[in-house]
Amino acid sequence: MQLHGIEYKVLLEDLAPHVRAQRAENLSSKAKQRTHRIDVFAAFYNHSEINAYMESLVQLYPKRVQLKTFGWSYEQRALKILTISNGDGRRNKPVIFIDATIHAREWIAPSFALYIIQQLLEQAENADLLLNYDWVIMPVVNADGYEFTHSDSRFWRKTRKPTPIEEHIGTDINRNFGYKWGDDAGSSGDPAEEIYRGEQPFDQPETQVLRDALLHYKDRLAFYLSLHSYGNYLLLPWGHTSSFPDNYFYMMEIADAGAMAIIQSTNGIYSYGSGYHLMYPTSGDSNDFAVALANATVAITMELPAGGFLGFDPWVTHIEGIVTESWVGVRAMALEVISRGYQ
């Protein structure tokens, strides 16, 4: 940069002490817990801890909770999906489907998914959200990458499946879906890139699992919500083009309900609209697939608030503020979907 006359400022000489301090904080906080119930505010949990917690919910709420392994990651981790109902036994209700951790380093996303689970199961005030709708939640899509961020590289983004170039591992799941896959304007064919799309659509087992789960609910998918971080955005389809889906303005009204609820509650400001226009082009992403091929009436990618040094790394002390604020928005969006009826 000096050679080319580019001005710059060093913000941190070495990121490693920061990462080590955060790991120590997280482990210390978990060590203090004396219950099998996950305390969302107290720590970030790894994949096996999250799966064990969901398994415990089946025992605690046998009439309201179902847990299914939809498939396995490249490194053979069970990819589990939790279904929450009100226990009335009615079948084939419309579905609100939430996933998280498509990108491995975004630790606040699975924390928020766990908080949503607890809100639906433990808080009577949310019974209206389950009266005529089931909630289907997948807290960790990219299990291998997520585990790698806990054990090795904190800011890893992709999966852990090898690519044709030996020194480059992993694919960006959110460029690997089969709808409009392969556009260089919204992804990359280079395995060295963070937005590498894979050799072909759905060549990642994790993408296959999420695809199959969404298609399983194709006839009753009212609302698809994908949790990411960071940026305070509610991103709508399309990602691959500047044009809009037919019901774009309906989806904008749902996003508006969430953004307005948050600003009224905490003064937190979310931008909302087409992902293509608000951020950048993305091809082969889950949002576009959900609308185009899984018949989702509403599809939104929620980019949660930033935390920590790089935005992807909030401290444990940040969790409560982020997830409680975000729940205000998700609850408002869900209520708006429910009030309008499944279309």
Catalytic residue, chosen from 106, 206, 303, 336, is: 303
Tell me the residue type at 101. Answer: T
The alpha-helical segments, DSSP class H, found in the chain are 16-31, 47-60, 108-122, 143-151, 205-216, 248-266, 275-278, 286-292, 319-340
**Among 52, 47, 46, CA closest to 30:** 46
303 is catalytic: yes
**Among 332, 120, 297, CA closest to 214:** 297
**Among 328, 282, 288, CA closest to 304:** 328
Instruction: Number of helices (H) and strands (E) in the chain: give both, helices first.
Output: 9, 8
**Among 36, 100, 145, 123, CA closest to 322:** 100
Phi, psi of 36 (to 5 degrees): -75, -15
Sheet bearing 65-72, strands edge to edge: 65-72, 78-84, 134-138, 95-100, 221-229, 298-304, 233-236, 271-274
What residues are labeled active site?
A: 303
